[in-house]
Amino acid sequence: MHVKECILSAPGKAILHGEHAVVHGKMALAVSLNLRTYLRLKATSDGKVCINFPNISTLLCWDLTELKLLVPDTCKKEDGKLLNAELVKCLREFVGVTNGNLDTSNMATLAFLYIYISIFGTGELPSLTVTVWSELPTGAGLGSSAAFSVCLAAALLCASGAITAPLRESEHTARWCQEDLELINSWAFQGEMIIHGNPSGVDNAVGTWGGMLRFLSGKIIPLSRVPLLRILLTNTKVPRSTKVLVAGVKDKINKFPTIMTPVLDSVDAISCTCEKVLSEMTHEPITGEHYNILEELIDINQHHLNVMGVGHPALDTLCRVTLARGLHSKLTGAGGGGCGITLLRPGEVIYTVQDLRDCGFDCWETSIGGPGIQQHSPHAVKDDILEILNHY
């Protein structure tokens, strides 16, 4: 079986408002983060499947004959909410992670093999090389695993013919139709299940559809139109445990219910107000007042997150350093360190990036609200990324 080459990319994810509150039945706004994960699928004829994930030092090759032995007797190709437990077990043995020691490299490998075998298992296994390069830091709560899974799902579904590559000749970039995106998303969710165990589905939805989505009580509702907003993404590089932070918030709510419940209500109202303002920004001329409100919402929510106890001195530093330049920041995701976002106005020149790097932080100028999974012509991919993708 001979497959078509393709290059595609999927965005990361940031929580704009509602992190932690979402655990307690409130709404969260998740947005695409335009730090993207790129995947190149190359057809080969050497009877091998190779994966190259240089970000996580993973370069592996298998003979098709090896992989054929992994195909389960009853291979389910349809999308589903449940993993094929037999296949997972078999793949874990194959990769050698039966002891439960799943590092990032093992998890990425498992996710690839699971989707590859599941999609192609009913027919002939194709010889191919998949190279992935990401602009996203891993393990920072920015949906890097979801962007990876979305890319894998789209590339392998395309290669199998389940969906059609959307890029026409003369086009630089193209998107899939809604039906194909649904299929990509459902397979990406399986990748997320392999990697995360019990994912919310938000990250892969953002990676697939891009833009912004509302997440409430387990339901994911993509928003029709949102403006593209410039931001700084800052990684304080302070390590934290999401599990410990979530438990801490729960304890605080139990300890001070009359004090904390209104704070969650206020966060919910922030998310609603933000969604309303962003919607207005797509329907009417954007004014400074729109940005004033977005900045006020960021400031208020950051204070609320501090009330929940998920702040950190490094995040305080981020807020202080950016405010000294007139910019407004909040943590994004679990907090307790990790990443923060800083809103930029259109055309604003950014002096603060160096200030933040001087604090020892990683800092990227990027945007939120951009497109989800896309196919690219090689000409549409930045040279340095194309070089990495072509290197293998």
User: What are the residues binding a second copy (CB under 8 A)?
Assistant: 256, 258-260, 262-263, 265-266, 269-270, 272-273, 296-297, 299-300, 303-304, 306-307, 313, 316, 320
- Cβ-Cβ contacts under 8 Å for 104 (sequence gap 6 or more): 56, 138, 139
In angstroms, what is the minimal distance from the CB of 18 to a second copy? 13
Q: Are 135 and 26 in contact (CB under 8 A)?
A: no
Sign of CA dihedral 251, 252, 258, 260: negative
Catalytic residue among 145, 271, 329, 367: 145
In angstroms, what is the minimal distance from the CB of 272 to a second copy? 7
Catalytic residue among 127, 134, 144, 203: 203
In angstroms, what is the minimal distance from the CB of 164 to a second copy? 46
The residue (of 21 and 115) whose beta carbon lies closer to a second copy is 21
Residue 377, SS3 per DSSP: coil
In angstroms, what is the minimal distance from the CB of 265 to a second copy? 4
Beta bridge partners of 234: 340, 363
Q: Are 346 and 138 in contact (CB under 8 A)?
A: no
Q: Which two tokens stand for residue 33?
A: 């983060």
- Tell me if residue 203 is catalytic: yes
The residue (of 92 and 304) whose beta carbon lies closer to a second copy is 304
The residue (of 49 and 245) whose beta carbon lies closer to a second copy is 245
The residue (of 124 and 251) whose beta carbon lies closer to a second copy is 251
* Residue closest to 226 by CA, chosen among 343, 341, 370, 366: 370
In angstroms, what is the minimal distance from the CB of 315 to a second copy? 13
The residue (of 205 and 274) whose beta carbon lies closer to a second copy is 274
Q: Are 130 and 50 in contact (CB under 8 A)?
A: yes
* Residue closest to 390 by CA, chosen among 127, 155, 38: 38
Q: Are 34 and 229 in contact (CB under 8 A)?
A: no
Residue numbers annotated as active site: 145, 203
